[in-house]
Structure 1
């Protein structure tokens, strides 16, 4: 059984191979579908709209956001999406989680990739 690796890439960076999955709930502003080169869109793995709005990309809210988003990934609205991403890693060697946030440290994709890697290790 193949266990692909996950990595992150901002949507505005040039595509560099891999199976590219947009993990944002909303399409990145100003980005054409051709330039994005997205293979799949995992809206269901993104934070819920209320959680995304409450976080509002404020670094000082990141710890609280992380706790709530992990709950969504484990048993909440994003759990099915996370399972689907893990399944895609069984089908593809290089899985690129594409996100649009400017802050490369305090964003949902950082939480998501950490969650997915730990889930792979536990399997």
Structure 2
């Protein structure tokens, strides 16, 4: 599953998943901007792919 928030009304024990990959989801600001608007899909997908290819940020790293 790739989502930052657990789906409502679904118990974690009810889904047969191996991992919950919150770390690879688009950042919240990008999701808010996108707003499920089909006209923004191409731009959203390009920005999301750029996020996936960029090094992860780490608050503990210099």
Give TM-score scaled by structure 2 length: 0.77
- Give structure 1 regions of 4+ aligned residues with deviation exceeding 4 angstroms: none
Q: Following the alignment from structure 2 to structure 1, what is the Cα–Cα distance between the partners of residues 55 and 40?
A: 20
Q: How does 1:82-93 map to 2 (within 5 A)?
A: none
Unmatched 5+ stretches in structure 2 = 57-62
TM-score (norm 1): 0.42
Q: Point out the structure with the larger strand share.
A: 1
Q: Which residue of 2 aligns with 1:101?
A: none
* 2: CA distance, partners of 1:42 / 1:52: 16
Larger Rg: 2
Equivalent positions of 1:11-90 (< 5 A) are 22-75=1-54, 77=56
Q: Note the alpha carbon deviations across 1:87-116, whole angstroms, 9 max, x for none.
A: xxxxxxxxxxxxxxxxxxxxxxxxxxxxxx
Shift of 1:33: 1.0
Instruction: In structure 1, list runs of 5 or more residues that go unmatched.
Output: 1-21, 78-123
Report how many aligned residue pairs link the two structures: 56
How much does 1:57 deviate? 1.3
